[in-house]
Structure 1
Amino acid sequence: MPHLRALAGRRARRRPESTSSRSTGLRLAATATLAASLAFVTACSDDSDGGGTTPTATGSATAQSLLGAVDKASGEPIKIGLITDGQSVVANLTIQNRVAEATAKWLNEHRGGIAGRPIEFTICETDNDPAKAADCGNKMIEEDVPAVLIGTSGVGPDAWKPLGDADIPVMIFGTSDPDMLTDPATFILGDPTFGVIDMPIQVAQDEGNKKVTSIVIDVPAALHSAQDIAPPLFDKAGIGYELLRVAPGTADMTPQMQQVKSNGSDQVFIIGNDTFCISAMNGLKAVGFTGTISAISQCFSDATRKAVSGDVLEGIVVSAFAPIGTDNPSAALYKEVVDTYGKDIDLSNQDGMVMFTIASGFHAALTGLTGDITPQSITAAIKGMKETELPGAGGLKFRCNGKAHPESPASCVRGGLVTTLDDKGQPSEYKVLGNTSVED
């Protein structure tokens, strides 16, 4: 095949090694992508809801209205690489494999595939192991795929490295890896500053709050945005800012939360997994904190809802990356796709909906692509796409021309989603914030 790169013939791009991206421990990415990286920590060991799903006939009126008119792809399939963590000792993320395959069936039957040809995924699982992730990247080069999608992963940068060196286009939901954020053939479906900077600033402005303390799990990658990027942006917004680092595994955060109450903060923003956030929220209650609580979505799981009282949960503002759990068009489409084409897919699992967004977003970015399907033609088509709605993302629009965030040209989205929890810790309506149009 003309676009297969031999190892000896590839143009090697020299990139500085990123300590955070190479860490084999807990990987906490910045901003909106932080939640995506945390997902592999908080995912359940079994992502099935036990009851499966009830298939809906594609000929029904309801299915037709959501899935769209039949537009079947034909001819030789286009093999697209798909790298996921699969099932590892950390978490079971095999739901992403099943969602991707269900999404491909829908796109092939109702969206004409890619350039009229069926999409076929070539899947490689990393087992959340950096070495296996690198092997997956190299496997995709050997398989001669013209593009690769990377799901929620703790080792995404390791899988990406050989692909980046080979100029294979990659689409991923989020990452904090600096090389990926600036790579000309990488496309990221998350705003690099919204989730842990723009969102808490916006909440503070809406509520009239004067000072925010970020309560952050004390690992290097999580601290980057909170420690290095956030302070000048809060200062520019005229809002006081303080960083409180707390060690992972701290069971009782009452002493630390007393610091929050004493420093005059009227808002907190919590960054960590569910166990970490439970300790922080219960500590805030213990010291009588009455200000605004905001957090990333990975703070919340069934464990959080059981361990934190309803009077604390109610009113928490959450940055979100998948509009699950409410009645909205994105969730309705996702449900119809996986009910019709999937099996044993838990609709409440956000990693599944993230994969739906990645796969269908990749397809949407290639609308109008014709001719030979190569890494070069795919990269050019994605860069030349018009602004369009990102499927499964609650109304967010995306455009990958490098101008959404010039300092991170791989980013395709501005803004993100927020929701407010009820007293049971469940989301209410999702709102789009900061999703301004990307200029030509």
Structure 2
Amino acid sequence: MKIGFITAEGGSAISLPEVREGAQAATAYANDHLGGIGGRPIQLVVCKSQEDAASARTCANQLVEQKVTAVNIGTTAFADSMVPVITGARIPYTTGVAASGAEFVTDGAFSWTGGFPATLGVMAQTAKDKGYKSVSLFVTDAPAVTAGANALGKPVFAKAGVGLDIVPIPVGTPDATSQVTAAIGKKPGAVILVGEGTFCTTVLKGLVAVDATQPRFVIQPCLSKTVEDAAPGALDGATLFTPGDTESDNAESRLYRTVMGRYAPKTALDGYAVTGYQNLLGLVRALKDLTGDVTPASVTSTLKAAKDVVLPAGDGLTFTCDGTAIPNL
């Protein structure tokens, strides 16, 4: 069974090989211990996007041409360039961390979690609970991220009674001190970082440079050894918002560490490796009831019937793919 996997890797500004390594480890585990999908071994067809609109579309078209049965996405800010191509070919598009509008509203697109909007919602509630009047949200300056932050972030923070200052940082920015200075000058109660590791390092260094003391809300890729080494102490006391549990004694977390240790022993367990693992193994679990001919159509119908699937490395979280998880979408 051919599963396409699109991942951000090899770009001049963004490269996340650990996402692919996590997905490949999950594939090997599923083939060795779960019988693949529908009793058929999984052939993972990887396409490395440069994390821009053109290469994202190229990857989508390549996988359609290779007649994959489904496409699984690592993490991307350019899903709007891929979803129409993949679902237009009647191939299911799957991810664990949806961020763009197309991923949420397109028939044939599936996400195991509430993705970016859900993360923003939890952050807004946390800011409210802590009594913050406003926060600064640093995001990668990419269409899906900035559009999502404005369309989804501002309403949920406003509902929580918390002001939201969105600060886009262009991809590849080596020094964000000027943007950080302007944001901190507005005296936010906390700062939020949403981006990959290099982005996190750049913003954290800027926060250190201006002696910012605000609490930090971060997502999984910020909490890697690479980031910590590049910005020592900048993450002390930070609050992590993630659907991935990589360190606890929960059975799912232990399985993650075991699988990665067996199939990707050189890959760091922190950062974004869990995203590739979670996305791919989530697909395998969602298709456990797949029988008969394995086609894009049968995969889509099986996914739509998936209910209460245990999210890999999710600390007990489950997902259902009936399209009702997020009202009004």
What TM-score does the superposition give when structure 2 sets the normalisation length?
0.83
User: What is the CA-CA distance between 1:152 and the residue it aligns to?
Assistant: 2.5
The reply on whether 1:126 has 2:52 as its aligned counterpart is no
Note the alpha carbon deviations across 1:15-74, whole angstroms, 9 max, x for none.
xxxxxxxxxxxxxxxxxxxxxxxxxxxxxxxxxxxxxxxxxxxxxxxxxxxxxxxxxxxx
- Indicate the SS of the match to 1:391: coil
For residues 179-218 of structure 1, what are the structure 2 equivalents within 5 Å?
179-191=102-114, 192-196=116-120, 198-207=121-130, 209-217=131-139
Q: CA 1:267–1:251 in structure 2 vs 1: closer, same or farther (change >3 Å)?
A: closer
Q: CA 1:323–1:231 in structure 2 vs 1: closer, same or farther (change >3 Å)?
A: same
Residue 353 of structure 1 is matched in structure 2 by 274
Q: CA 1:294–1:176 in structure 2 vs 1: closer, same or farther (change >3 Å)?
A: closer
Q: CA 1:388–1:283 in structure 2 vs 1: closer, same or farther (change >3 Å)?
A: same
* Partner of residue 174 from structure 1, selected from 94, 97, 101: 97
The reply on whether 1:139 has 2:65 as its aligned counterpart is no
For residues 298-337 of structure 1, what are the structure 2 equivalents within 5 Å?
298-302=221-225, 304-306=227-229, 310=233, 313-337=235-259
- Indicate the SS of the match to 1:112: coil
What TM-score does the superposition give when structure 1 sets the normalisation length?
0.64
* Structure 2 CA distance for aligned equivalents of residues 295 and 339 of structure 1: 26
* Structure 1 CA distance for aligned equivalents of residues 53 and 166 of structure 2: 30
For residues 75-90 of structure 1, what are the structure 2 equivalents within 5 Å?
78-90=1-13
- Indicate the SS of the match to 2:267: coil
Q: CA 1:121–1:244 in structure 2 vs 1: closer, same or farther (change >3 Å)?
A: closer
Q: CA 1:215–1:147 in structure 2 vs 1: closer, same or farther (change >3 Å)?
A: closer
Alpha-carbon RMSD across the aligned residues, in angstroms, is 3.0
User: What is the CA-CA distance between 1:107 and the residue it aligns to?
Assistant: 1.4
Residue 259 of structure 1 is matched in structure 2 by 186
Contact 1:212 1:268 in 2 (8 A): no
Q: Which stretch of structure 1 is more off in the superposition, 366-375 or 139-148?
A: 139-148
User: What is the CA-CA distance between 1:283 and the residue it aligns to?
Assistant: 5.8
Q: CA 1:193–1:125 in structure 2 vs 1: closer, same or farther (change >3 Å)?
A: closer
Q: CA 1:137–1:227 in structure 2 vs 1: closer, same or farther (change >3 Å)?
A: closer
- Indicate the SS of the match to 2:177: coil
Contact 1:268 1:293 in 2 (8 A): yes
* Partner of residue 327 from structure 2, selected from 406, 409, 431: 406
- Indicate the SS of the match to 1:187: strand
User: What is the CA-CA distance between 1:384 and the residue it aligns to?
Assistant: 0.6
The reply on whether 1:250 has 2:176 as its aligned counterpart is yes
* Structure 1 CA distance for aligned equivalents of residues 67 and 55 of structure 2: 18
User: What is the CA-CA distance between 1:120 and the residue it aligns to?
Assistant: 1.9
Contact 1:216 1:223 in 2 (8 A): no
User: What is the CA-CA distance between 1:301 and the residue it aligns to?
Assistant: 4.3
Contact 1:146 1:378 in 2 (8 A): yes
Match for 2:279: what amino acid?
A: I
Contact 2:100 2:148 in 1 (8 A): no
User: What is the CA-CA distance between 1:224 and the residue it aligns to?
Assistant: 2.9
Match for 1:384: what amino acid?
A: A
Contact 2:138 2:191 in 1 (8 A): no
* Partner of residue 114 from structure 1, selected from 37, 54, 59: 37
Q: CA 1:100–1:142 in structure 2 vs 1: closer, same or farther (change >3 Å)?
A: same
The reply on whether 1:236 has 2:162 as its aligned counterpart is no
Contact 2:86 2:92 in 1 (8 A): yes
Match for 1:305: what amino acid?
A: E
Contact 2:79 2:102 in 1 (8 A): no
Match for 2:277: what amino acid?
A: F
User: What is the CA-CA distance between 1:275 and the residue it aligns to?
Assistant: 3.4
The unaligned stretches of length 5 or more in structure 2 are: none
Identity fraction in percent: 26
Q: CA 1:294–1:102 in structure 2 vs 1: closer, same or farther (change >3 Å)?
A: closer
Length, aligned pairs only:
319
* Structure 1 CA distance for aligned equivalents of residues 270 and 232 of structure 2: 23
- Indicate the SS of the match to 1:193: helix
Q: State the structure with more CA Rg.
A: 1
Match for 2:11: what amino acid?
A: S
Q: Which stretch of structure 1 is more off in the superposition, 172-181 or 392-401?
A: 172-181
Residue 84 of structure 2 is matched in structure 1 by 161
